[in-house]
Amino acid sequence: MCRSPACGASSRPIRASRAICRRCAARATCWRRNERHRNDRRNAGGRRCGRSARGYFSNEEAGVSTLFISDAAGGGAGPGAGSGHVTPPGHPERAERLQAIEAALAVPAFAALIRREAVPADDREVLRCHPAAYLDALRRAVPAEGWAALDADTFVSPGSLGAALRAVGGVNAAVDAVLAGEVRNGFVAMRPPGHHAEATRAMGFCLFGTVAIAAKRALDHHRLRRVAVLDFDVHHGNGTQDLMWDEDRVLFVSSHQMPLYPGSGAVEERGAHGQILNLPLVPGSGGAEMRVAWAGALARVADFAPELILLSAGFDAHRDDPLGGLVWDEGDYAWLTGAIGAVAGSVCGGRVVSSLEGGYDLAALAGSVAAHVRGLMEERG
């Protein structure tokens, strides 16, 4: 049966769902919604449609496997460990964040994670969202030693550009693995984060629009038709909004505290095609307010019927985080992960890639990430 609430073809069976063509998988799970692709129905019998030379996959065959991609480059102890991206002493976006996540996911409960290390993306991936002049300017700004300030909050060190390219490469690799049917979903723990980086401006600790780049890769390289980007960081994803403003193939949803840095994210900001949905939350909002906001937003996501869901997973809405004023807890992140997973299971075969954004209290970050990844590992749909 088709499980999409937007379809209405619930009485029609899916035939041979384990023999879906790689290129057509997202559109071959329901024949009624597949009218535009009806000439490729033969793929359900296991024959190639001609749109891919890489064979076949079934997302069902990926089971409930979850990929975990992290950054082990520049290992050891110290301020640059885990990414080579060094920030000044006392800066909240620091290498210890990744160390806390690695420790939280090193326990037996997460033994089933499929673990990989990130590799750098090449410049062509960055250029999906950022102009070459911006990339060149960043390279010139990187110091030979120490660190250099790009603005009051955003710093680069000799290893920062490499770390940012590995972050792009890590999220792209997770997207590739999920769309190839190797895994059901994935979580990518990298730094620096990305959702504040605009097309020509680094800000808010961010250098490249990592998740936005992954969305463009899914659309232009993998030829998906619709991608949803969901951002639950306490700060508005202004960079993702900037990069996706004119993109009608992407639905961008952001919940965030307002007022708060960077000052954007009003309900009236809807994008050139009405594909942006901002969910501002007043300071002090907790799980109840979050559930109301996201319940309505996820209905919009289901109606959009994305073929892939990308998450900008910020954990700084936690009550203990020093940079925000919301009062979420680990249970709220577990609920939101489950709610997103339920929608993903109904509309895109559970295909979700989650990328770390904020979260600056180490204990709260570790507990919240553990709750989030545990939710990803649970079977949905």
Please report the DSSP string for 186-197 in residue order. EEEE-SS--TT-
Phi-psi group of 188: left, alpha or beta (phi > 0 → left; psi -120 to 50 → alpha; rest → beta): beta
Residue 156: Cβ-neighbour burial (10 angstroms; 0-12, 13-18, 19+): buried
Residue 196's pLDDT is 99
What is residue 64's predicted lDDT score, i.e. its pLDDT?
A: 62
Catalytic residue, chosen from 196, 235, 256, 318, is: 196
pLDDT at 37: 36
**Residue ranges for the chain with pLDDT beneath 70:** 1-64, 72-83, 379-381
Residues of the chain with CATH 3.40.800.20: 59-377
CATH topology of domain 59-377: Arginase; Chain A (3.40.800)
Whether residue 130 lies in the annotated active site: no
Strand partners, 187: 68, 354
State the pLDDT at residue 328.
Answer: 99
- Alpha carbons 13 and 288: distance in angstroms, whole number: 38
Instruction: Determine how β-strand 66-70 pairs with β-strand 308-313.
Output: unpaired
CB atoms within 10 A of CB 243: 28
pTM of the model: 0.83
